[in-house]
Amino acid sequence: MSFDKNLFTNKKILIAGAGKGIGLACAAMAAEYGADVIAVARTESDLDKLVARYPERITPWVMDVTSEDFYQKLRELPTLDGLVNNAGINSVGPMEAQSSENIDAVIDLNIRTLYKISQAAITPMKRSKAASIVNMSSQMGFVGSQGRTLYCMSKHAVEGVTKAMAVELADHNIRVNTVAPTFVLTPMTEPMFEDEAFKSFVFNMIPLGRLAKVEDIANSCTFLLSDLASMITGTSIKVDGGWTAR
């Protein structure tokens, strides 16, 4: 099963945090369906691999998404039809052990940077006939979980600001939604599941009894970026296998 190969023809889509995992899958899928993709990451070699797969579709930006240079370059785009805010960070541990540095890092990347990227994208998106922003949230934006106070805080904020952005930007026909994954199987998360107690906890919380794949998340982002979702704004697609339905 797949979307139409011309789904994003003549569309320009920017993926922030496109070097690995979910962001990489989103960039590849957008390119597969005809988009001109701006893939943003700090590691040039990651983007080189993406360009090698889609040389005519991928424009690599080796940039720090927290930098003013990036925001200015984004504002100067002639037009922009889609944005995936995928850059993020986590700091797992007891609340009492979270340092000021940890708190600031999570707030800065997961909330402030997402806001700044979206703010900069408004200018070129106003020149699009219909634009879409997808903010990467999490099931933790709807529930609480032990050891994840900072992540839950930031993702609840993402859900809130997404609703406000959707209302404010509707006059410009810019839609804003979130995708909220459960735990996703990636090379980065695989070692976590070597802990049998943690593995048991996670799988017992997911009624479908399996982890998400990066393609599961990219499919939802693709749908929300496309005109297929032209009447959907201010809401979330939970790709969580039922975690938050309990």
Q: What percent of the chain has pLDDT over 70?
A: 100
DSSP characters over 159-201 = HHHHHHHHHHHGGGTEEEEEEEE--B--TTTGGGGGSHHHHHH
Query: Over the stretch 72-125, which tens digit does the pLDDT of each residue have?
Result: 999 999 999 999 999 999 999 999 999 999 999 999 999 999 999 999 999 999
- Model confidence pLDDT, tens digit, residues 159-213: 999 999 999 999 999 999 999 999 998 877 888 899 999 999 999 999 999 999 9
From 54, 71, 115, 151, the catalytic residue: 151
Q: Which domains does the chain have, with CATH numbers?
A: 12-187+214-235 (3.40.50.720)
* Model pLDDT, residue 186: 82
Element housing 49 (H / E): helix 44-53
Q: How far apart are CA 158 and CA 104, in angstroms?
A: 16
Q: What is the mean pLDDT of residues 212-229?
A: 98
Phi and psi dihedrals of 212, rounded to 5?
A: -80, 155
The pLDDT, as a whole number, for residue 188 is 76
Average pLDDT, the chain: 96
79 contact partners, CB below 8 Å, separation of at least 6: 12, 124, 125, 127, 128
Q: How far apart are the first and last CA of the chain?
A: 29
Question: Annotated catalytic, 151?
Answer: yes
Return the pLDDT at 189: 84
Q: Tell me: the pLDDT tens digits for 27-84?
A: 999 999 999 999 999 999 999 999 999 999 999 999 999 999 999 999 999 999 999 9
The DSSP call for residue 228 is: G
Average pLDDT for residues 137-152, to the nearest whole number?
Answer: 96
What integer pLDDT is reported at residue 1 of this predicted model? 75
Q: How many residues does the chain have?
A: 246
